[in-house]
Amino acid sequence: MAISYATARGAPLLDMEQERILIGRWQAERDRTALEALILSHARQVYACAARLCFDAADREDLIAEGMVGLIRAANRFDLAREVRFSTYAHWWILHSATRALARLNNVVDLPARAQRAAGKAKQATPLDGSGDALEAMQSPDPTPEERMIARTANARLRRLIAEAMGELGDVEREIVLSRNLRQVPDTIEDLAVRLGVSREKLRLIERRAMSRLKYGLLSRGVTAAQLG
C-alpha cells in the first residue's frame, strides 16, 4: 500500500470512535481493509516526522517506509481500554522506527548535524505504554525478527505471504532481496553491486528500502514478530 504525500495530506481525519472501530477490527479479525484505512488517515504523521529528521528526499523515502511499519506496530499494540488518541500513541512508534532507519543510513552516508541531533534526542524518549521494547529495538543494530525469518521459514502460509509481499517490490529491489536474503548462499555486496552496475553504498540503500517495504507488506498481512520467531 504505497501512499503518496498528496494522498496522505488529503486523507480524511478519523474521530476517536472511528479509529477505535478500525483498530478493533484489525486486532480481532486481522481486517486488512481496516488497517489500510487507519494508516491512510495517519500517514501525514509519518511524512511530517520524516521531513523533520532528514533533508534528502531519497533518504526520506527510507524513513517514510519505516514510519509506516511503525504505524502498523502501533495498531498491533494499541490498548483500546486507554483513553488516548491513536495519533498520540502512534507518534512514538513512528519516531522510533524512523530514527532507527536514520541510524542505519548514517552507516552509509554523512547526514546533516541537525538530523543526527534529532535521532539522538529520540533515543531518550519513553514509549507511552511503558514497555521499553521499542526503544531497545531502536538501539539494536541487529536484524529485526522479520528480516531474520526471511531465509529460514518453512511455514507454507508464511512463504505464501512473503511471495505476495515480494510481488509488490520493484524488479531491482526483488533481485537484491532474493540475492542477499533468500538464497542458500547469499551474494556478497561487492559481487551483486558489480552485477547490477551500482555502487556498494547505493545497493545497501536499495536493500534497506526494499526490506522496509517487505516488512510493511508482511505486517499489513497480519504477520507478527512472534510468528516470525
SS3 38: helix
| Grid cell in block for residue 202 | 547505493
Contact in structure between 123 and 135 (CB atoms under 8 Å) = yes
Cβ atoms < 10 Å from Cβ of 86: 22
Q: pTM for the whole thing? A: 0.64
What cell was used for 157?
502460509
C-beta of residue 65 within 8 angstroms of C-beta of residue 101: yes
Domain residues of the chain, as ranges? 1-141, 144-229
Topology (CATH) of 144-229: Arc Repressor Mutant, subunit A (1.10.10)
Residues in CB range of 88: below 8 A, 6 or more apart: 128
From first to last of the 229 residues of the chain, give the pLDDT tens digit: 678 888 888 999 999 999 999 999 999 998 999 999 999 999 999 999 999 988 777 778 888 888 988 999 999 999 999 999 999 999 999 998 888 888 877 665 443 434 444 444 444 444 444 443 433 333 344 555 455 555 555 467 777 888 888 888 889 998 988 888 777 788 888 999 999 999 988 888 888 888 888 888 888 888 766 654 4
Residue labelled with grid coordinates 509488490: 168
Helix (H) or strand (E) holding 123: none
Q: How many Å apart are CA 3 and CA 20, to the nearest integer?
A: 22
